[in-house]
Amino acid sequence: MKKPEIAKSPSALIDQRIEELGDWRGEMLARVRKLIHAADPEVIEEWKWRGTPTFYHGASIICTGETYKAAVKLTFAKGASLPDPGKLFNSSLDGNVRRAIDIHEDEKVDEPALKALVRAAVALIESGTQPKAPKTSEADKEKKRTASKAAKPAKKRPKRA
């Protein structure tokens, strides 16, 4: 008879992921995880969406820590509303809510800037305010209208009898 598998804690699953990666991605994930904990000692770790390390403050997501073949990606749930003076965000820049940081092999992480970004995310969560979507410029609105017109075929008038 098979022994029932003991459920691992989210932190243990993240430890396991770091160990399984066994390369620069595991080292980087461990490093950014440590920075997140340093910036927010109250951080809660979860294991979501079939294997994504997710970092919470209270009931709200600060960021996720995904690993891909060529990058470790930190996706900030409310990143579009966060100040980024260190210019860390380099991915998912066109969305209204999220922003991400792709970290590639041999890239240096600006540790003070990352900690500041995590602290800003925590402050936004604690403020209880809903982030506002960035204002869309008139030029962007016009581009969107033009693109939607181009995508729709012209309506044909019914033939008269």
Percent pLDDT > 70 in the chain is 76
Reported as a single tens digit per residue, the pLDDT across 51-102 is: 999 999 999 999 999 999 999 999 999 999 999 999 999 999 988 999 999 9
6, pLDDT greater than 60 = yes
Query: How far is the CA of 138 from the CAs of 39, 135, 141, 152, in angstroms?
Result: 38, 9, 5, 21
The set of residues, in sequence order, having a beta carbon less than 8 Å from that of 17 and lying 6+ positions away, is 26, 29, 51, 53, 67
pLDDT at 142: 60
157, pLDDT greater than 80 = no
| Other beta carbons within 10 Å of 115 | 16
Mean pLDDT computed over 2-26: 87
> Position of tokens 């598998």?
5
Which range (3-17, 85-99, 143-157) has the least confidence?
143-157
pLDDT at 133: 46
Torsion of Cα atoms, 14 then 16 then 21 then 22, to 10°: 120
| Full set of structural domains in the chain with CATH | 10-151 (3.90.1150.200)
Strand partners, 102: 73
Mean pLDDT computed over 106-120: 96
Listed in sequence order, the DSSP H helices in 4-152 are: 10-21, 24-39, 111-127, 138-151
| Other beta carbons within 10 Å of 1 | 3
